A and B are shown apart, each in its own frame.
Chain A
Amino acid sequence: MKSVFYTLLAALVFIAGCSKNDTALNAVNNGVGQGGSLARFTIAQNHLYMVDGQNLYTYSLENTAQPMLQSQQQIGFNVETIYPFEDKLFIGSQDAMYVYSLEDPSNPSQLGTASHVRACDPVVADNDIAYVTVRSGSSCGGTINALMVYDVKNIFNPVQLQQINLNNPWGLGMIGNRLYVCDGNAGLYIYDIGDKQQPKFITKTTGETFYDVIVTDNLLIAMVDGGTALYKYDNNDALNLVAKITN
């Protein structure tokens, strides 16, 4: 899903480069959109994947108006979020991170489980590195509040590379070599992930309670307490609040 989006975005940016169009966000009627990292629905490879507390449901979108159930499988317990990356699905839960192959998109097969990884909300930078937020509180359990960096080259044996302690982190998003982490009312943290194994803190933005984020090439859309906040950002990592939609 994301790669399709970025391809589209790249195409739009290319066009925008010629037409001096201020925004790369053009209304398009085809293609899929982009969700935040807290999503339980995601579209990849012309299939809709959904997780509830325990199961993964796979629907074919050959006929977009009438999805057809292809498979349903039990994953585990307390499943929280789903994240597509290339030909894989990363599924976060309160006690593990599950990885499914989309080699057969209509019937995802489990590649591995990183058990003992409390992965409320994982996103994946490449085939080797996963960023995971964990927070205390009942929806995710545990007592640790942190951004974790895992080497997932061997999904059966994930190696924790970093634990960056935070206040109460939720969703996260990436673009290029930047990682954005929503840390509740402590702010939106920006990390340089030029070295994917070692996120380097750059700066943070405060003033909202941040839960999730979607980053497009010129706009950062944040789910905040009470609604949504839109930020423009520049090459210097300065975030400028341009609008809030809260009532």
Chain B
Amino acid sequence: MKIANSLYFSILLTVLVFSACKPFDPDTNTPPKEVEGWAPVYAQNTDIIKATDPQPVEHGGKIYIKGSRLYQVESGAGIHVIDISQPENPVKLKFIQVAGCQEIAINGTILYTNNVNDMVSIKIADLNNIAETDRKKDAFHIVDKNHPPAKGWFECIDASKGDVIGWENKTLNYPKCLY
């Protein structure tokens, strides 16, 4: 993030210096060969919510405790459900697949989360048989589908690859989009 910011300011500076000579035109702003920037993360059929076998934690996100269970968001992908009734021996029970997932709250046996920008309610009373009980389409704007989280170069969105469910920071080669 910090890198992206300083990158942005260096780009801005370059642009300002450049524009001192002539107006800024993105078409003539040559993409760098290699640069830290943002790339869209795509998914197909993003509204399918289901419980699967436990998955490895790769991009661990926010945590939530309810009863003897720990829930950890897998950033952009879903929620790990972990039994910690014996803290020395935590047991992963299930993984709830939710595209774009970042947030979680639970009341009773209902789990609330964001499925990209839809707000969904999921009954988790039986982890082998979870059920979406409600969906509010485009309830909020947690995931920006059009722009990366920070200014700078980014990999252009290719709608043929699916829906944008998030962004990842990575090294880009000749990115063509600038935010």
Q: Measuring CB to CB, which residues of chain A are less than 8 angstroms from any residue of chain B?
A: 23, 25-36, 38-43, 48, 50, 52-55, 57, 59, 61, 64-67, 69, 136-139, 212, 214, 216, 219, 221, 223-228, 230, 232, 242-243, 245-247
Contact = CB atoms under 8 A, between A and B. Distances in A.
Contact-residue size bin, chain B (C-beta under 8 Å from the other chain)? 35 or more
A245 B90 contact: yes
Contacts of B5: 137-138
Interface in B73-96: 80, 82, 84-90, 92
Given A23-B87, A65-B110, A67-B121, A50 B62 contact: no
Contact of B60 (A29, A41, A61, A223): A223
Nearest to A53: B141
B85 A23 contact: yes
A247 B104 CA distance: 20
Contacts of B63: 35-36, 212, 214, 221, 223, 228
| Of listed A40, A41, A243, residue having the most chain B CB within 10 A | A41
A226 B60 contact: yes
A25 B107 contact: no
B57 A25 contact: no
A66 B61 CA distance: 25
B52 interface: no
Contact of A39 (B67, B105, B110): B105
A64 B123 CA distance: 9
B89 A25 contact: no
Contacts of A52: 140-142
Given A23-B68, A25-B65, A212-B63, 9 more contacts: A31-B108, A35-B64, A35-B65, A39-B103, A41-B104, A54-B141, A136-B2, A223-B63, A245-B82
